[in-house]
Amino acid sequence: MTKKLLLALLSFAAVGTVTIRAQASAAPAAAAPAYTVTSTFSAVSQYMFRGQRLGGPSWQPSVEVAAGDFTAGLWSNFPFKDKVKDSSAPEFDLYGSYTLKVNKDLAFVPAFTFYDYPKAPTNAGYYRSTFEPSVALNYTVADVRLTPKYYYDVVLSGPTYELTAAYSVALKDLGTSLDFTGQIGTYRVTDAANNTTPSVKAWGDYWMLGVASPFQLTKESKLTVGFAYTEGRDAFFKQGNFPKGVNSLAVGRGVVTVSYSYAF
């Protein structure tokens, strides 16, 4: 929704043209806009991130700017019910990426995400912010888009390895499509807790299966509804020589998402 997992379920619309007129009596020509801004408002039944439940029903507004192969945006999460103590209340994520196209089926995508938790209690071992650069490979084969991705959180000191597969089935009679997404991942960090000695290690696996359908309302706006099931497995933490403990946030949940996006 990465973070995050639900974000793969959102759809965006790009609109707008620029008319250029010469001083002579030439016919007007249309050019692609220099950039597109998309605002999205989402409601989710659960906030799940890499197999961990970080909140109950939540609002997730975001804004994204796309200019050519460069994309930057701000995503946020505000739980309004069943809030998980000290988790994502609220959360603001600033992200950016650049797509380096090799051909129509292959591209490299370096990216970053800055996670901000302004109310996180640092005296309880939480971080107020973390920073995670990443690199991904987008490869399309037989209409299936495969995206292996490597993240490294420089604050938590550890990598995340993730593989996403996406496939779309057109429903022309209904004016929409079924956009399927599958994902598996694993992470391991060595500084999971802030200002803690000895340091706390954390690791775990996760997976997700989801489907979404976008409905074009107007030229500028779109409504997307989706459902995904995601689960965290084999998730533990360990401090020094103490026995490992189970990460109670790692659970399995179904997530319903309803999103409205407007592009200009």
Q: Which domains does the chain show, CATH number per domain?
A: 5-263 (2.40.160.40)
Q: Would the pLDDT of 12 be above 60?
A: no
* Structure-model confidence comparison of residues 246 and 5, the more confident one: 246
Q: Which of 131, 132, 52, 117 is nearest to 86 (CA)?
A: 117
- 138 burial (CB, 10 Å; 0-12 / 13-18 / 19+) is buried
Residues 219-232: what's their mean pLDDT? Answer: 98
Band (1; pLDDT cuts 50, 70, 90):
very low
Let me know the angle formed at the C-alpha of 245 by 241 and 247, rounded to the nearest 5 degrees: 140
Q: Would the pLDDT of 128 be above 70?
A: yes
Give percent above pLDDT 70 in the chain.
Answer: 86
User: DSSP secondary-structure letter at 195?
Assistant: T
Q: Which whole-number Å values give the CA distances from 226 to 37, 107, 162, in the listed order?
A: 23, 27, 21
Say what the pLDDT of residue 145 is: 98
Q: What is the Cα–Cα distance from 100 to 69, expressed in whole angstroms?
A: 7
Q: What is the Cα–Cα distance from 96 to 110, expressed in whole angstroms?
A: 9
Q: What is the Cα–Cα distance from 185 to 233, expressed in whole angstroms?
A: 10
Residues 153-180: what's their mean pLDDT? Answer: 97
Give residue 16's identity as a one-letter amino acid code: G
CB atoms within 10 A of CB 80: 11
Q: Which whole-number Å values give the CA distances from 51 to 5, 33, 82, 223, in the listed order?
A: 9, 38, 17, 26
Q: Write the pLDDT tens digit of every residue in 199-212.
A: 999 999 999 999 99
On average, the pLDDT of the chain sits at 89
Say what the pLDDT of residue 83 is: 80
CB 112 within 8 A of CB 134: yes
Say what the pLDDT of residue 25 is: 43
Q: Give me 127's structure tokens.
A: 């971080």
Residues 98-122: what's their mean pLDDT? Answer: 96
Residues 153-166: what's their mean pLDDT? Answer: 98
Say what the pLDDT of residue 86 is: 66
Q: Write the pLDDT tens digit of every residue in 171-219.
A: 999 999 999 999 999 999 999 999 999 999 999 999 999 999 999 999 9
Q: Which whole-number Å values give the CA distances from 224 to 19, 40, 82, 106, in the listed order?
A: 31, 10, 24, 27
Residues 131-145: what's their mean pLDDT? Answer: 97
Residues 47-68: what's their mean pLDDT? Answer: 96
